[in-house]
Amino acid sequence: MKKSIILGVVISLFLCFETSTAQNEGTNTGKESHTNNYNLTLQHTTVVVSNFEESRKFYIDILGLKQIKVDWLPQNQMFVALGNNLELHVGEVPGVTINPSNFNHFAISSNDLDGYLEHLNNNGIFHFNLGGDDKGFIQTRPDGVRQTFIQDPDGYWIEINDKN
């Protein structure tokens, strides 16, 4: 089950990137592709958690994401808005093993990275490099965007950047 969730996220991200790249750059990968005909975009990704209430508090109360009212989800599951019609599906799923890697992550952006990191630190959430070896780490990518990483209660990595 865990592998199928990760595979689904990877496929969604690949399709979104390939469609976006072809539309924005007018490039062709050399392979005949009909994905452009369907206007594929990433709509949501799922994070399976071990303690829904603890994760709800983290994503809503600490990160400040807004819960989306959905009446058809099973108990102990929710959608949160990530902006631009993107959503994060968070929930407990019986039988799914939770084993985050030191690389897989998703990213959220802030228009005030320093202020947001101070808010997180004040709530006991500290930032690191991806993998957690260097506390307080912030790097500047080649495109000028500053980024760092935090972990949710189950150990999933979340990139925080100032791309806004």
Q: Given the structure tokens 């990530």, which residue do they identify?
A: 82
From the list 55, 53, 56, the residue with the least C-alpha distance to 67 is 56
Q: What is the mean pLDDT of residues 44-61?
A: 96
This prediction's pTM: 0.76
Q: What is the mean pLDDT of residues 21-35?
A: 54
Domains and CATH numbers, the chain: 105-164 (3.30.720.110)
From the list 162, 127, 158, the residue with the least C-alpha distance to 144 is 162
Q: What is the mean pLDDT of residues 141-159?
A: 97
131-139 CB contacts, 8 Å cutoff, 24+ apart? 131/102, 131/103, 132/102, 138/113
Angle 159-44-135 from CA coordinates, rounded to 5°: 10
Contacts of 143 (CB under 8 A, 6+ apart): none
Do residues 19 and 36 lie in contact, with contact meaning Cβ atoms separated by under 8 Å?
yes
Q: Is the pLDDT of residue 33 over 80?
A: no
pLDDT tens per residue across span 60-90: 999 999 999 999 999 999 999 998 889 999 9
In this predicted structure, what is the pLDDT of residue 19?
41
3-class DSSP state of 63:
coil
